């Protein structure tokens, strides 16, 4: 928005269109230099002079323009907008109903594959990242005009069920399973892998059980259902705490009867080739290894299911964009699947997009699912909540609803601790860091929001029951006309805050364009920091309607960005 204003101001004197100027203008590396910097190399050509002379000339021409201060600095002109002239308009735009309403998606249906844990295997940290990043993207995309549909592509089929059933048949005890289904089935799972190292017959037995399952054997089916159900109960408990819902839970098993036509089509197109007894689609021309379609025993495999899945999402669900929020280690898998779709003549293969993310370590540990050295995620969440409760107890012992707020802050810390990172980066997650109320954390943003709410409450006697943010539309405060003269009351910190608030739209646009929730997390952090500087420098109560208004707008945008990231914004904490 600042750049738009700068482009408008410059258009007359430079003779360039606003569009052209927007391409040219840069953010000065140091905000003290100004709000926008215009590189003058293009003008050097047209004016036939050295760039620094062109810059000096343009700066001089701009001296006449009301509302800007221009200063040449080498080949650049640095521009400062005058708050007295622009603050009222900015305030009005930021407060307007349609501020932050972008229609990038134009109603296009977008199917997002997220979370997608494997049943009869523990929920891994990768699945947590997929859930949290996926949920944030889901909201960001919906916010910007996509019709979003989320699918939990549960790994509810595959050889692990053969293993689970084998372990159950050998060592399972119904009483113990009934008492602690998750813990017991995990123990069985771990024991299988330990004993299978000594005893090869276990693997054979497991393969046999999986074959029976695929053939529809009633006992195998019954046990499969049972293990699916207990895993789902545990997953749902976690989804609930994370505030994540899915439009569909369609596991891999859903595609069991949808793969044969795909395999037939591949065969008909002459794409299937034999390779060491298995059937593959060769992708040599694309410099990719062959995509495995049928194993030597004729059974289907992960890529086969993803082919059927993509076709289903396109044809039956009418998707115009298909996103897969899955760890970066599956990059090759998705390139292969999308390449096979392309070879099948699906002109929509280009609408499929893998949205990868990096590995996350918890307190330096890599989670290993097999060995049982698992950091169980519900336990991590419990720990986060109890630490949040301890901080709250210390800071604000009289807070009502302490436990609810601790849950919102503890879970929020985990979500934000993930999302603030560029998703492709590897993340070293530390609970202690994620929970710091004074660090770059979710609790810091939540705390800033709550602090604003209490200031507003004190000044306006506003009601602050309940909460803003997640599950609640931010409230729009009273609209007041702010006159030009008042703006001196903003001070430097207030003007910086106002400019920061105006970047919300750009942040939203960029987050959606790059499928990168961290852009929104960064916006929330910068806004909170900017507000805290303002709060430190200016007494809000002495600033008349202007300081109050900017404070209200800050609370609204903080609540909105927290909501988009999947965090609650408690009104008190």
Q: Which residues make up the interface to ligand ARG (CB under 6 A)?
A: 113, 116, 118, 153, 155, 306, 309, 324, 326
Distance of CA 488 to the CA centre of its chain: 38
Task: Closer to ligand ARG by CB, 36 or 355: give it.
Answer: 355
Nearest 5°: phi and psi at 412? -60, -35
For the bound state, the minimum distance from the C-beta of residue 116 to ligand ARG, rounded and expressed in Å, comes to 4
Residue facing ligand ARG at closest CB distance = 155
Q: What tokens does 486 get?
A: 């008042």
**Residue 413 burial by Cβ neighbours in a 10 Å radius (0-12, 13-18, 19+):** buried
Write down the least CB distance from residue 213 to ligand ARG, Å: 17
Considering the complex, state which of residue 308 and residue 569 has its C-beta at the smaller distance from ligand ARG: 308
CA atoms within 13 A on the CB side of 320: 8
Nearer to ligand ARG, 324 or 534 (CB): 324
Residue carrying the six token digits 């005009």: 145
Least distance in angstroms from the C-beta of 171 to ligand ARG: 25
Rounded Cα distance between 166 and 156, Å, is 16
Q: Which is nearer to ligand ARG, 177 or 326 (CB)?
A: 326
If the CB atoms of residues 314 and 470 are measured against ligand ARG, the closer one turns out to be 314
CA dihedral sign, ordered 520, 525, 431, 384: negative
294 membership: H or E segment, kind and range: strand 291-294
Please, which residue, 127 or 139, has the CB nearer to ligand ARG?
127
Q: Cβ distance 58 to 70 under 8 Å? A: yes
Closer of 330 and 529 to ligand ARG (Cβ): 330
Least spacing, CB of residue 236 vs ligand ARG, in Å: 17
Contacts of 533 (CB under 8 A, 6+ apart): 493, 496, 497
- Closest CB 153 distance from ligand ARG, rounded Å: 4
Which one, 158 or 494, has the nearer CB to ligand ARG?
Answer: 158
- Of 323 and 498, the one with the shorter C-beta distance to ligand ARG is 323
> Tokens for 84?
């007295």
Q: Is the dihedral of CA 31, 33, 38, 41 positive or negative?
A: negative
User: Rounded to the nearest whole angstrom, what is the least distance from the CB of residue 201 to ligand ARG in the complex?
Assistant: 27
CB nearer to ligand ARG: pick between 118 and 421: 118
Terminal C-alpha separation, the chain: 33
CB of 350 or CB of 393, closer to ligand ARG: 350
Closest separation in Å from C-beta 326 to ligand ARG:
4
Contact 6, 21 (CB under 8 A): yes
User: Exposure of 445 by Cβ count < 10 A (0-12 exposed, 13-18 middle, 19+ buried)?
Assistant: buried
Question: Cβ(266)–Cβ(274) under 8 Å?
Answer: no
Q: Which residue has the tokens 């646009």?
A: 509
Q: In whole angstroms, how close is the CB of 126 to ligand ARG at the nearest point?
A: 7
Comparing CA positions, the residue from 255, 229, 258 lying closest to residue 120 is 229
Instruction: Provide, rounded to whole angstroms, the least separation between the CB of residue 434 and ligand ARG.
Output: 24
The answer to whether the beta carbons of residues 540 and 459 sit under 8 Å apart is yes
Min dist. Cβ of residue 195 to ligand ARG (A): 24
Give the pairing type, strands 147-152 and 248-249: parallel
Least CB distance to ligand ARG at residue 322 (A): 9
Owner of token pair 């019709």: 147
The candidate with the shortest Cα–Cα distance to 239, out of 143, 140, 117, is 117
d(CA 414, CA 380): 9
Closest approach of ligand ARG to the CB of residue 398, in Å: 45
Say which DSSP state 151 is in.
Answer: E
Q: Quote the least distance from Cβ 252 to ligand ARG, whole Å.
A: 7
Q: Which is nearer to ligand ARG, 130 or 530 (CB)?
A: 130
Strand segments (E) across 418-543: 427-429, 467-469
Choose between 125 and 546: whose C-beta lies nearer to ligand ARG: 125
Q: Rounded to 5 degrees, what are φ and ψ at 401?
A: 55, 35
Q: CA 221, CA 162: separation in Å to the nearest integer? A: 11
Smallest distance from the beta carbon of 467 to ligand ARG, in angstroms? 33
In angstroms, the CA 521 to CA 17 distance is 33
Please identify, using beta-carbon distances, which residue of 213 and 573 lies nearer to ligand ARG.
213
Question: Could you tell me which residues come within 8 angstroms of residue 411 by beta carbon, excluding any fewer than 6 positions away?
Answer: 241, 242, 243, 381, 384, 385, 567
Instruction: Report the residue number, 151 or 558, with the smaller CB distance to ligand ARG.
Output: 151
* Minimum CB–partner distance for residue 221 and ligand ARG (Å): 21
Report the alpha-carbon distance of residue 160 to residue 370 in Å, rounded. Answer: 11
């Amino acid at each position: 928005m600042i750049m738009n204003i700068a482009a408008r101001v410059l258009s007359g004197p430079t003779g360039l269109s606003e569009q052209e100027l927007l391409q040219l203008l840069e953010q000065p590396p140091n905000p003290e230099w100004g709000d926008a910097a215009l590189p003058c190399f293009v003008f050097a050509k047209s004016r036939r002079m050295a760039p620094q002379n062109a810059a000096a000339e343009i700066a001089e021409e701009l001296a006449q323009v009301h509302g800007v201060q221009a200063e040449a600095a080498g080949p650049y002109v640095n521009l400062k907008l005058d708050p007295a002239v622009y603050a009222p308009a900015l305030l009005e735009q930021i407060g307007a109903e349609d501020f932050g309403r972008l229609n990038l998606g134009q109603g296009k249906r977008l199917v997002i594959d997220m979370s997608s844990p494997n049943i009869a295997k523990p929920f891994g940290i990768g699945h947590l990242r997929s859930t949290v990043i996926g949920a944030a993207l889901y909201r960001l995309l919906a916010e910007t005009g996509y019709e979003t549909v989320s699918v939990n592509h549960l790994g509810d089929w595959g050889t692990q069920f053969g293993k689970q059933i084998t372990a159950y048949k050998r060592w399972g005890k119904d009483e113990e399973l009934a008492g602690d289904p998750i813990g017991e089935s995990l123990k069985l799972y771990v024991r299988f892998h330990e004993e299978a190292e000594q005893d090869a017959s276990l693997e054979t037995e497991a393969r046999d059980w999986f074959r029976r399952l695929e053939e529809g054997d009633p006992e195998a089916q019954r046990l499969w259902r049972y293990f699916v159900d207990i895993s789902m109960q545990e997953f749902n408990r976690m989804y609930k705490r994370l505030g994540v819902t899915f439009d569909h839970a369609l596991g891999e098993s859903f595609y069991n009867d949808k793969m044969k036509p795909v395999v037939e089509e591949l065969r008909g197109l002459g794409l299937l080739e034999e390779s060491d007894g298995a059937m593959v689609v060769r992708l040599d021309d694309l410099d990719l290894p062959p995509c495995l379609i049928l194993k030597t025993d004729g059974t289907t495999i992960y890529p086969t299911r993803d082919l059927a899945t993509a076709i289903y999402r396109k044809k039956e669900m009418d998707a115009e964009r298909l996103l897969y929020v899955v760890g970066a280690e599956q990059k090759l898998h998705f390139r292969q699947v999308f390449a096979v779709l392309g070879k099948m003549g699906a002109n929509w293969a280009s609408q499929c997009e893998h949205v990868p993310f990096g590995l996350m370590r918890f307190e330096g540990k890599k989670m290993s699912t097999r060995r049982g050295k698992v950091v169980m995620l519900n336990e991590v969440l419990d720990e986060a909540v109890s630490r949040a409760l301890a901080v709250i107890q210390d800071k604000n012992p009289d807070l009502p609803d302490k436990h609810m707020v601790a849950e919102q802050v503890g879970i929020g810390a985990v979500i934000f601790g993930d999302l603030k990172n560029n998703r492709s980066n590897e993340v070293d997650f530390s609970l202690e860091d994620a929970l710091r109320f004074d660090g770059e954390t979710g609790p810091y943003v939540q705390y800033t929001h709550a602090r604003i709410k209490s200031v507003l409450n004190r000044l306006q006697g506003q009601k602050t029951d309940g909460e803003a943010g997640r599950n609640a539309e931010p409230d729009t405060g009273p609209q007041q006309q702010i006159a030009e003269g008042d703006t001196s009351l903003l001070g430097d910190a207030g003007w910086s805050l106002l400019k920061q608030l105006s970047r919300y739209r750009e942040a939203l646009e960029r987050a959606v364009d790059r499928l990168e929730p961290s852009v929104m997390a960064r916006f929330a952090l910068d806004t909170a920091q900017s507000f805290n500087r303002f709060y430190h420098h200016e007494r809000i109560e002495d600033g008349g309607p202007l300081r109050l208004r900017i404070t209200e707008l800050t609370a609204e945008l903080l609540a909105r960005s927290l909501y988009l990231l999947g965090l609650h914004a408690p009104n008190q904490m």
